[in-house]
């Protein structure tokens, strides 16, 4: 592994069930990789078969670029792992602000590293992590390596409209948060083009943190650029509810459980598999 690749990023391959070790090393700038040993589940594609274990879901938690959300990290990795995929969690640099390219570079380096070991990469981003995934998913092809789809969960999309101002300030820095050029440059909807990754996106109408209009802006641009996508907009939910089932109960918040919202996981996997079959 080259020194440049690991300049901002540490990585480690561990057993998914070893939660104690996972929590200890899940600090900023760490990519934790969980390789699935079950290679028997195959997906037929245009160019032959691929094992689900050769497809890795890169989980990018939210937290306003201020903290790493626990319920949007290890429980998500475990869920997709149980469904047969390999998984990884990225714990990226947080505020205090250094440079808006830092988190982007860490995600970029994660894709580069994962693409060495795995044939296909799916980015799964929550809230601010959805913003970070969206930046890479709309980037030039050479920045995306083996990434072929993204799953955006109640994502921060715009730094211009219906803004989560805390996330914007933490990402751009308080000295630059009102810079209109930077706001546009780092608004995901403004970056969508005809090579944007196929996208599964979901949210709920009563999100009190990131207005659901962020998702509507993204849907509009995906349609305009003829990008394959699937969207689910639920009537009710709580920002940060992640899996929306008992596996999200790290903070003991029973109200995070919602059977309807929890269906997003199966829908996302079906979308990802359908996209993969076309490769």
28-51: pLDDT as tens digits? 457 888 888 889 999 999 888 999
Q: Is residue 2 part of a domain?
A: no
273, two tokens = 């598999």
Position 247 scores a pLDDT of 66
Q: Is residue 261 part of a domain?
A: yes
Q: Is residue 244 part of a domain?
A: yes
Position 248 scores a pLDDT of 60
Cβ burial, residue 85 (10 Å; 0-12/13-18/19+): buried
Position 137 scores a pLDDT of 98
Confidence of residue 15 (pLDDT cuts 50, 70, 90): very low
Position 249 scores a pLDDT of 55
Q: Is residue 3 part of a domain?
A: no
- The enclosing domain of 122 has a CATH number of 3.40.50.1820
Flag whether pLDDT at 18 surpasses 60.
no
Flag whether pLDDT at 252 surpasses 70.
no
Q: What is the mean pLDDT of the chain?
A: 86
Q: Is residue 4 part of a domain?
A: no
Which residue range forms the structural domain that includes residue 128?
Answer: 10-277
Q: Is residue 1 part of a domain?
A: no
> How would you classify the pairing of strands 120-126 and 199-204?
unpaired
H-helix segments, the chain: 19-25, 74-82, 101-117, 128-137, 165-172, 180-185, 188-191, 213-224, 264-277
The pLDDT of 240-249, averaged and rounded, is 81
The pLDDT of 182-195, averaged and rounded, is 96
Please state, as a whole number, how many other Cβ atoms lie within 10 Å of the Cβ of residue 205: 13
CA distances from 86 to 78, 94, 155, 175 (A): 9, 26, 23, 40
- Report how many domains make up the chain: 1
> Mind listing the pLDDT tens digit for each residue in 81-98?
999 999 999 988 786 666
> Looking at 55-69, 88-102, 206-220, 258-272, which range is the least confident one?
88-102
Position 250 scores a pLDDT of 55
């Amino acid at each position: 592994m080259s020194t440049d690749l690991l300049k901002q990023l540490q990585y480690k391959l561990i057993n998914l069930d070893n939660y104690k070790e996972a929590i200890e090393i899940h600090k900023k700038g760490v990519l934790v990789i969980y390789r699935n040993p079950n290679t028997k589940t195959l997906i037929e594609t245009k160019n032959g078969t691929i094992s689900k274990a050769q497809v890795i879901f890169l989980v990018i938690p939210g937290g306003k670029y201020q903290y790493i959300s626990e319920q949007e990290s290890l429980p998500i990795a475990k869920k997709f792992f149980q469904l047969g995929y390999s998984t990884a969690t990225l714990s990226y640099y947080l505020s205090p602000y250094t440079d808006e390219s830092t988190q982007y570079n860490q995600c970029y380096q994660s894709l580069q590293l994962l693409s060495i070991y795995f044939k296909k990469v799916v980015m799964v981003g929550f809230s601010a992590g959805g913003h970070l995934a969206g930046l890479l998913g709309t980037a030039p092809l050479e920045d995306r390596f083996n990434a072929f789809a993204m799953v955006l969960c109640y994502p921060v999309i715009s730094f211009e409209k219906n803004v989560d101002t805390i996330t914007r300030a933490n990402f751009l820095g308080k000295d630059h948060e009102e810079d209109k050029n930077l706001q546009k440059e780092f608004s995901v909807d403004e970056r969508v083009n005809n090579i944007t990754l196929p996208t599964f996106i979901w949210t709920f109408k009563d999100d009190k943190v990131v207005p659901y209009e962020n998702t509507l802006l993204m849907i509009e641009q995906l349609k305009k650029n003829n990008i394959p996508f699937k969207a689910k907009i639920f009537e009710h939910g709580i920002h940060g509810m992640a899996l929306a089932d008992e596996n999200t109960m790290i903070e003991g918040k029973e109200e995070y459980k919602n059977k309807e919202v929890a269906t997003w996981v199966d829908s996302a996997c079906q979308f990802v598999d359908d996209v993969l079959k076309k490769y």
